[in-house]
């Protein structure tokens, strides 16, 4: 059997990709405190200056002059302002390459000192959630998985039980026993929301056809909460966005509260939970509006509510730029499923 071994960070990211095909949006406020860096040259001004020059010569081609990942080289190069896997992983990525990035970015070897200088420079650009500290436990967590399903977790030294917080994370990302097909809670949420969006769009194809608006709004209601759709029939998996969102919140709370929860699990749990609560709230609003549509007799009013439903499903999937600042964060009123997935992928 072909079993691939990956570190936790990489496997969580992969599982996240497997369930979430969309593009995640970015958050970019500076300010939250980062843990101390493990880079020996961190904060050294001469090193930062030298690093800036070396960065521009060796990395900016792909990662961009501002390290935001928007260079002219390979598309979708990482946004290094948000690098968060700790200094040792940074050194390793540069020396050995990382996924699509060749060793040294294909630009020729650098000395350890030059790598440390580049790291020190990048820290001056770091955004909230960036992390240059190595995990205190240096033994590597390894996951064995196949087709995105985690088969076993080991610490490189001795085989161990999976950590408790990872078990709860697995219920969100990989598998949970009360969902159809026992898929993860985030997966069912994404499926139901995609189905709801499809039917919400059918409802607004002809804004003068009240029967059509009402029929498809019932279908949306079924995907949001099958219990609320009293006819008991409709598209979707029969689980519902609302219940899946509650499940994500609960299991994220379990992971956060586990005695062995990592620092990143505790931090990002709050972000995941806040975004999932937004989803829960918007799902409730959709049910209210669906009630207006199916109970109403005026095509004009029904069409109005049906269009609001389309908008809220978009928020559920992609989040909402509530404060119109051009970015969608995990925060109250902003984060949706894309932000849930983004912050799950940060948990190591
Ligand atoms: C030829 C283009 C190219 C060059 C040059 C390049 N990189 Fe990259 N780098 C990438 C791409 C593309 C990725 C994303 C890999 C992926 O996700 O498949 C990446 C990823 C990384 C990562 C991992 C990011 C993460 O979040 O874990 C680090 C660290 C990194 N690059 C550092 C550097 C540094 C430092 C330099 C200069 C010494 C450099 N890169 C030069 C293309 C490049």
CATH number at residue 45: 1.10.760.10
Same domain flag for 176 and 313: yes
Same domain flag for 191 and 260: yes
Sole residue written with tokens 């958050």: 27
Same domain flag for 127 and 169: no
Instruction: Give domain status of residue 143, yes or no.
Output: no
Task: Please say which residue of 86, 107, 132 terminates a domain.
Answer: 132
Cβ of 62 less than 6 Å from ligand 1:
yes
Nearest-CA residue for ligand 1 atom 9 is: 101
Same domain flag for 202 and 87: no
Instruction: Give domain status of residue 97, yes or no.
Output: yes
Task: Please say which residue of 78, 113, 132 terminates a domain.
Answer: 132
The Å distance, Cα 230 to ligand 1 centre, comes to 52
The Å distance, Cα 105 to ligand 1 centre, comes to 6
Domain count for the chain: 2
pLDDT of residue 107: 87
Same domain flag for 249 and 339: yes
| Full domain range(s) for residue 47 | 35-132
Same domain flag for 174 and 314: yes
Instruction: Give domain status of residue 321, yes or no.
Output: yes
End-to-end Cα spacing for the chain:
26
Instruction: Give domain status of residue 147, yes or no.
Output: no
Same domain flag for 92 and 194: no
Q: At what angle do helices 210-224 and 263-295 cross, to 10 degrees?
A: 150
Cβ of 73 less than 6 Å from ligand 1:
yes
Query: How many helices and strands, by DSSP H and E, does the chain display?
Result: 12, 3
Cβ of 63 less than 6 Å from ligand 1:
yes
Instruction: Give domain status of residue 18, yes or no.
Output: no
Cβ of 54 less than 6 Å from ligand 1:
no
Q: Count CA atoms closer than 13 A to 181's CA, side-chain side.
A: 11
pLDDT, tens digit only, all 348 positions of the chain:
333 443 444 444 444 333 333 333 333 333 344 568 999 999 999 999 999 999 999 999 999 999 999 988 888 899 999 999 999 999 999 999 998 988 999 888 899 999 999 999 999 999 988 999 988 754 455 545 455 455 555 555 444 567 899 999 999 998 888 988 888 999 999 999 999 999 999 999 999 999 999 999 999 999 999 999 988 888 988 999 999 999 999 999 999 999 999 999 999 999 999 999 999 999 999 999 999 999 988 889 999 999 999 999 999 999 999 999 999 999 999 999 999 999 999 998
Phi first, then psi, for residue 163 (nearest 5°) are: -65, 150
Cβ of 147 less than 6 Å from ligand 1:
no
For 230-256, b/e burial (b = at least 16 CB within 10 A) is eeeebbbbbbbbbbbbbbbbbbbebbb
Cβ of 282 less than 6 Å from ligand 1:
no
Nearest-CA residue for ligand 1 atom 37 is: 59
Index of the ligand 1 atom closest to the CA of residue 107: 5
The dihedral built from the CA positions of residue 125, 81, 343 and 91, taken in this order, carries a sign that is: negative
Cβ of 187 less than 6 Å from ligand 1:
no
Q: Do residues 323 and 334 lie in contact, with contact meaning Cβ atoms separated by under 8 Å?
A: yes
Q: Do residues 6 and 339 lie in contact, with contact meaning Cβ atoms separated by under 8 Å?
A: no
Instruction: Give domain status of residue 87, yes or no.
Output: yes
Cβ of 101 less than 6 Å from ligand 1:
yes
Same domain flag for 181 and 279: yes
Instruction: Give domain status of residue 28, yes or no.
Output: no
Task: Please say which residue of 86, 111, 132 terminates a domain.
Answer: 132
pLDDT of residue 73: 86
What tokens appear for 225 in the block? 């909460």
Same domain flag for 215 and 296: yes
Instruction: Give domain status of residue 157, yes or no.
Output: no
Cβ of 168 less than 6 Å from ligand 1:
no
The Å distance, Cα 307 to ligand 1 centre, comes to 42
pTM value?
0.52
Same domain flag for 220 and 317: yes
Same domain flag for 182 and 312: yes
Same domain flag for 176 and 253: yes
């Amino acid at each position: 059997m072909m079993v691939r071994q990956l570190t936790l960070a990489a496997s969580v990211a992969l599982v996240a990709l497997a369930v979430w095909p969309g593009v995640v949006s970015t958050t970019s406020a500076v300010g939250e405190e980062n843990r101390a860096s493990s880079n020996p040259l961190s904060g050294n001004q001469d090193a930062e200056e030298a690093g800036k020059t070396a960065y521009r010569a060796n990395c900016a081609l792909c990662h961009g002059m501002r390290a935001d990942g928007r260079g002219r080289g390979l598309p979708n190069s990482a946004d290094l302002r948000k690098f968060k896997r700790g200094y040792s992983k940074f050194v390793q990525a540069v020396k050995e390459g990382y996924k699509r990035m060749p060793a040294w970015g294909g630009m020729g070897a650098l000395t350890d000192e030059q790598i440390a200088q580049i790291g020190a420079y990048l820290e001056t650009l770091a955004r909230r959630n960036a992390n240059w500290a190595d995990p205190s436990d240096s033994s590597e967590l390894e996951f064995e998985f196949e087709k995105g399903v985690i088969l076993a977790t080991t610490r490189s030294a001795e085989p161990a039980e999976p950590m408790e917080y990872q078990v709860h994370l697995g219920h969100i990302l990989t598998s949970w026993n009360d969902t159809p097909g026992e898929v993860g809670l985030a997966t069912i949420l994404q499926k139901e929301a995609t189905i709801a969006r499809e039917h919400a769009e059918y409802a607004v194809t002809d804004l003068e056809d009240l029967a059509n608006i009402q029929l498809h709004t019932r279908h949306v209601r079924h995907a949001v909460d099958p219990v609320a759709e009293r006819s008991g029939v409709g598209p979707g998996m029969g689980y519902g966005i609302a219940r899946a969102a509650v499940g994500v919140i609960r299991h994220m709370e379990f992971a956060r509260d586990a005695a062995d929860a990592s620092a990143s699990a505790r931090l990002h749990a709050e972000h995941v939970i806040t975004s999932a609560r937004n989803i829960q709230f918007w799902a409730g609003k959709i049910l209210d509006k669906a009630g207006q549509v199916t109970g109403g007799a005026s095509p004009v009013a029904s069409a109005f509510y049906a269009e609001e439903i389309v908008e809220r499903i978009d928020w559920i999937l992609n989040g909402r730029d509530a404060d119109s600042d051009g970015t969608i964060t995990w925060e109250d009123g902003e984060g949706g499923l894309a932000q849930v997935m983004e912050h799950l992928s940060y948990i190591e």
